[in-house]
Structure 1
Amino acid sequence: MEAQLVELARAAGVAVVTLMATDAWERTRDGMVALWRRASPSRADSVEGELEATRDDLVTAREDGDELTEQELREEWTGRLRRLLRERPEVAEELRRILTELGSDSRGTGAVTVQMRAEASGSGRVYQAGRDQHITTL
């Protein structure tokens, strides 16, 4: 399998699971189900159910702070998409298009959700930013 298709599957698996916890969830689900309907119609309904179950697992994992489960879900969808692309490499362009649309839909700027965590102790400080950050101390 071409390295480009493997990388596409990885990026798509990460994006699909990440977007499950955002306002773009329904469009993500609909896009993935539509992809499977064209590529493997007999599996489309089961894929829709698997997406729903994954979202439930993701929500629970995030509530519990279970990062390992979240990573496993990403890897699971990466594998599914890699197998789909191996069987039907012609759907790669459609998958790229769906990811592009979802990326621009998530915030209207091509942004994706970024989750940051930090801890400071004693007199330590933590500064985090998803973009520009200006700090003025007196």
Structure 2
Amino acid sequence: MEAQLIDLARAAGAAVVTLMATDAWERTRDGVVALWRRASPARADGVRIELDAARDDLLASGEDGADDLTEQELCAEWTGRVRRLLGERPEVAAELRALLADLDTEVRDNAPHSVQMRAEASGSGRVYQAGRDQKINER
């Protein structure tokens, strides 16, 4: 298999898993299932069920603190599924690229972000920093 198709499968696996816990999930799932329906119609309903089960696993893993490992496993699993589909039907690569381009905004908006903060206080100065919400009650 070409390196480009392997890279495409990796990008698709990561995008699908990234969007599982977002508001864009239904659109993502429907796009992936539609791709499978055209490429391998007999497996499309099973893919839909497996995508929903994977999402349930991902959401449940966030509740028990195992989300990073589960997310990595799901990325590997869906990368493999997409890679096998592309191996059987390389002509769907263009359609997959179009789907990923359509979902690109959601992927970028939902990707983990890195925040770096640096502060310095002297004397009786105070520094308050937060990567997100912060509530300060001073008396």
Considering the TM-score relative to the shorter chain, is it more than 0.5?
A: yes
2:5 paired with 1:8: no
Q: Deviations over 1:82-106 (max 9, x none)?
A: 00000000000100100111123x2
Which of residues 112, 116, 120 is equivalent to 1:115? Answer: 112
Q: CA shift at 1:29, angstroms?
A: 0.5
Letter in 2 for 1:61: S
* TM-score (norm: length of structure 2): 0.79
Cα RMSD of the aligned pairs, angstroms, is 2.3
Task: Calculate percent identity across the aligned residue pairs.
Answer: 64
Structure 1 unpaired stretches of 5+: 130-138
Q: How many residues align?
A: 121
Q: Which runs of 4+ in 1 moved over 6 A?
A: none
Highest CA radius of gyration, 1 or 2? 2
TM-score (norm 1): 0.79
From the superposition, tell whether residues 65 and 2 of structure 1 become closer, same or farther in structure 2 (CA, over 3 Å): same
Say whether the 8 Å CA contact 1:62–1:70 is kept in structure 2: no
| Other-structure match for 2:102 | 101
**Structure 2 residue ranges without an equivalent (≥5):** 121-127, 133-139
1:34-57 Cα offsets, whole Å, 9 max, x none, are 000000000000000000000000
